[in-house]
Structure formats: C-alpha cells, structure tokens
Structure 1
C-alpha cells in the first residue's frame, strides 16, 4: 500500500513537471512572438521555393528599410546559432539588418528525409534561389550573406555565382580544403595522449587520399576531445552563449519541440547519413573560388581552429592578391566561437554593414 502511494506521488510530480514545462513554454513563446512583432516592422515566417522545394524562412528586422543579411549555418545539418528558431534572440542584428534565417533543407523547420541525390550543388541552388527571392521582395536593398563552417562553402560558391546580386559576405570558420586533415591537425593531435587505436586512425587518415568516412569522423572527434580546435576549453573562456542559444530554441514560437531537438540531432544525422554532402565537404578545395571573388568577403577565424584550418585561411588570403578577400583572426577561440569571440563576430557583422 505504501509502495502504491509512493508511486502515485512520483507520477503526480512527473506529470506536474511536464505540465509546468509546457505552460512556461507556451507563455514564453507568446511573449516572444508579441514582443518581436511589436518591436519589428517585419517579423514573419515565409514559405519560399528553393530548388523546387518549399521551405520556411524567418525574416526579422526593426524596419523594412534595412539591408538584408541571409544566414547560412554549419553542420552540415546543425542550424546553430542562426536558425528559424531565433526570433527575438539577436536584437543587436535585427536593428541593423533584416535578418533572414534559413534552416537548410533536411533539418529543423525544413526537415525532410534526404536521399543521395542531395549534394553541395543542391544547397548552392537553394541559397541562390533564396538570394534571388529576397532581391525580388526587396529590390533596392543590399544583400549580404553570413556563413558558418559548412555554410561558408555555400557562401563562397554563391558569391561567385551571383556577384551582381550580393554586396558582401562574412564567413566564420571558412572551409577551404583538407577539412580536419591538414598538417596543423596532425601536428597537434600527434602530441596528445592518444590511445594506440586513435594513433592508427590518425595515421590512416593523414596518409590516405581516399580514406573511409568513419575514420574522418573519428579524427573530427579527436580534435574535439583533445584540442581547442573545435570547442576552446580554456577555463578563462566560456562557450555558454552557444549553449544558451540551443536552449532558447526549445522556447521558440516558431519551433515545435521536435524542430528544436532537430537543431542538434536529427538534421545532423539526416544530412550526414542520407546525402553526399559530408563526403563532398571533406574532399572539397575552394582555393581557386576564393581567389576569384568579385565581392567583399571577410573571413573570421578562431586562432586555434584546426577543423577549418586558420593557418590555411591566412595563407590563402595572404597569397591571393585579391583586394576583396580579407581575414580577421580572434584569439582564444576554435571552430565554435567562445562568448568573447561571438561578441566580436556580432560586432564584425554590424560593422560590415557600413562598408
């Protein structure tokens, strides 16, 4: 009898927690939606056709007179930190731009099960269509792109594809070549306390021209585990803002809980497992395309980044002789920006508007 009463109490507590969570979530969603629509002249979801696929984007800006900034997230398949669930999260940006947040096809708000017909070209087509759609809606506005990590592959390609329609690009963690496979990666990892099996994997990846994807991903994991190349782990620095943005997506008026969960799990698995995109990214070389850029293109890098190698980026910019291509390196940050680095990225985006 006592056991039954105890179980009943536990069930009541669990149910109460769930009810409280959904009530709090409902209230926060309504407040966020009301505040955003009151504060901003434009704050809306739109359905747009990108590469013949209907997708959802979020537009948010204080006035309709502002230039356009289209965000292109990384992953592939992880729309953090700029995604459709970001309504109200970045007032410092929406006061300077009409922000266009796009969850790439296959993840979060635009989740669809992918197949191997989906390639980098598919996403390039989608981003190009999004640029042209925004130009159609806002014909007299400047249009900028902001890409992170994998998204920088697309910003580079589309900047070359539509030089007359884009006024500039900012790229954080620029993918160029030898993703997680260059000499900086090897030199750092080989000095770490790797296990025998981990050293075998590292050697296999570094010495093979066409090593298997599983091994490439294992080296990715080693970078995260042993170095500052992915997340910067110094105790004096923090990555809390990145995690807070993830948490806030669970309270977005534009996301279901499934959408929010998909920002960190489903989309990543979907794009990386059910398409050719990840393999293409690992084998890409964008050096020539960066050298050919005809629009202002600012690369931002965490100094310790060895996923998208900062030393490679610096070398390419230095040797480019292209006045459009510039680089800015931030201390004490890896491939994912620390709080301090994130603030500098935001400032760089804001300053870029005036150039």
Structure 2
C-alpha cells in the first residue's frame, strides 16, 4: 500500500476482536489530532476502499480510521461465514473503540456515520455516550419506509414533469411502494428505485465509475469487488433490521453533541426527514448543515464544502474541550 501523501499515520491491519479478525485502515498527519472512526454504509458496503477520493483534507485535522464491519469488505473476505446481527455489531463497535482508544491514548473518539452507519452510530451514542466526544451523521437515516416513500414521490414528480414514460412505467411496476415488504424483497425493490432515481441524480447507483474508483484505490484487492457483489448474503438479518428502522421510536435525548451534514440533493435518505427529526433532538450541543449541490455521498459531491463544515465542527468542539 503506497503512502502517496507521506502521511505520518498510514497503515492497514487486521485486529482479532470479538472472535474474528476485523480490517482497519488508519490515516492521519498527527497523533495529537482527534480520533475519528468512520462507520460505512450498506449494510455491507465498506467505504474504506474509496476513502482516498474524499478524505485527504480530513487527515489534516483528524486521524481517521475506517472499519470494515462484520459482513462487509475485507472483514467479510477474511470471515466469509459470519452472519452479523445488530447486537453483534454493537459489541464489535464497542470493542473496536476500546482498542483504538488504547492504541492512540485517547479518552474518547469522534464517531462519523454514513447512511447505514448512521443507524449503527445513532444507536451506539445513545447506549455508550461516555465513549464518544461527538457524533457526525451524513446521509442520516431516520425511518427507512419514510425515506423510500418520499424518495419515490420525488422521482415520480420529476418523471411526470419530464414526461419520462419509461421511468413512470418502472415506478408503476413497483406497486404500492414501499408497501409492506421487508428484508431482501424490500432491498431489491429499493435497488430498482435507485436506478430510476439515479437518472435524476437523486441517489447513488452502482455504476461503472464507482467500480473504477474501487479499482484505483491504494488498498484495492480483487476480493473487494467480490465482497461488494455478495454483500447481501451475510447481511440478511441486518437488512431486516435496516428496513424496519425508525430512530423516532428512540428517546430524543442525547448525552453527546450531535451534528448532521446533509446533502441538499439527497433523496435516498431525504434531508427533509432528517431536518424534521433534528428539531426534536435534545443534546448538549447540536447543529445541522446543508451542503448545496450534494447528494447521498455529500463528501464526494462537494469535498471542499464538506471539509469546511468538518473544520468548523472541529474548531468549535476544540474550543469547548479547552474550556472544559
């Protein structure tokens, strides 16, 4: 793995935790910087391989660690017979954090969640607030059925305006969407909707450019593509949890500062749903940022604006910790 930017911290490793070997990718410029753990999307979509696209600036102000979760990426390749549950992932996450705190001599870490990672991250900070300095969510999931319903209506509106008969036929074929389906059936329907949404740049699609980005990564292995193609197989229980998820069923009380960074063009996890939920949150500190001309992968769509937002959060939290 070539250290292209001559980072002080730049290495990958497998750490035996909670019965299996977990893949971690570490990147940063100073050991004194705050430590951020990135929780990827999916379930099963490890983002460590594409982190090189958006993360270079982050490493100036954070030490960033990517963890390929059980059932995802290089951890899945190393442990192909593992079938994670949500409770098991919470255990993994807790123990990963203990390992990182000891390795970097930190009392707390920053938790960053993207998409599916916001589900894991939001529940974790509620259960283990003393482990986390603050939480950042992007592509924040509040309620999966509401996400799909609102995203469906948005693309239908645009297809009607464009007289896009092909897309309208495909939307009609989805039936009463999202309907009452769960699990893999729900996931398969949502994948069909993503294709239609992708035509209007409302959602992320698994197109050739994304595969090419994987292959250009300094950490790429051919097995990463295999893990990506097979990610639904080990994650059936997580997909059941994912499609029924509703953060509003939890208490609105948080004991850690909460930050949302949302793409203004994100209709995969529609920002308008997150905005409404965010108003109800009670937290020591909270702030919501909207990134213009950015979708579900806001950190890739607008990397400079996204980094500017991270810098603001880092500076404000730095001032608070100095006072405390």
- TM-score, structure 2 normalization: 0.81
- 1:304 corresponds to: 265
CA distance in 2, matches of 1:133, 1:304: 37
1:213/1:241 CA distance change after superposition, 3 Å: closer
Change (3 A) 1:318 1:240: farther
Distance 1:349 1:246, change over 3 A: farther
Residue aligning to 2:28: 61
Q: For 1:1-355, list aligned pairs within 5 A.
A: 29=1, 32-33=2-3, 35=4, 39-80=6-47, 83=48, 86=51, 90-110=55-75, 111=77, 112-114=79-81, 117-140=83-106, 142-179=108-145, 181-191=147-157, 192=159, 193=165, 194-196=167-169, 198-203=171-176, 205-208=177-180, 210-211=181-182, 213-226=184-197, 227-231=200-204, 245-249=213-217, 252=218, 254-259=219-224, 261-262=225-226, 266-267=227-228, 269-272=230-233, 274-289=235-250, 291-337=252-298, 339-354=300-315, 355=317
Q: Distance between the aligned counterparts of 2:182 and 2:10, measured in 1?
A: 46
Q: Any stretches of 5+ residues in structure 2 without a counterpart? A: 160-164, 318-324
Q: Aligned residues, how many?
A: 304
Decide whether the 8 Å contact of 2:113 with 2:121 is kept in 1.
yes
The CA deviation string for residues 23-70 of structure 1, in whole angstroms up to 9 with x for no partner, is xxxxxx5xx23x55xx33332223323332221212222222221111
Larger radius of gyration between Structure 1 and Structure 2: 1
Tell me the secondary structure at the aligned position of residue 101 of structure 2.
helix
Partner of 1:18 in structure 2? none
Q: Is the 8 A contact 2:258 2:283 kept in 1?
A: no
Gaps of at least 5 residues in structure 1 are: 1-28, 233-238
After superposition, the Cα gap between the structure-2 partners of 1:323 and 1:187, relative to the gap in structure 1 and judged at 3 Å, is farther
How large is the RMSD of aligned CA atoms in angstroms? 3.1
> Contact 1:47–1:56 (CA<8 Å) still a contact in 2?
yes
Q: 1:315 to 1:271 in 2, by over 3 A?
A: same
Query: d(CA) in 1 for partners of 2:268 and 2:44?
Result: 17
Give the SS at the match of 2:120. Answer: helix
Compute the TM-score of the two structures, normalised by the length of structure 1.
0.74
CA contact (8 A) 2:194 2:203 kept: yes
Rounded Cα–Cα distance in structure 2 between residues aligned with 1:139 and 1:46: 18
Q: Deviations over 1:112-138 (max 9, x none)?
A: 3245x4212222221211111111222
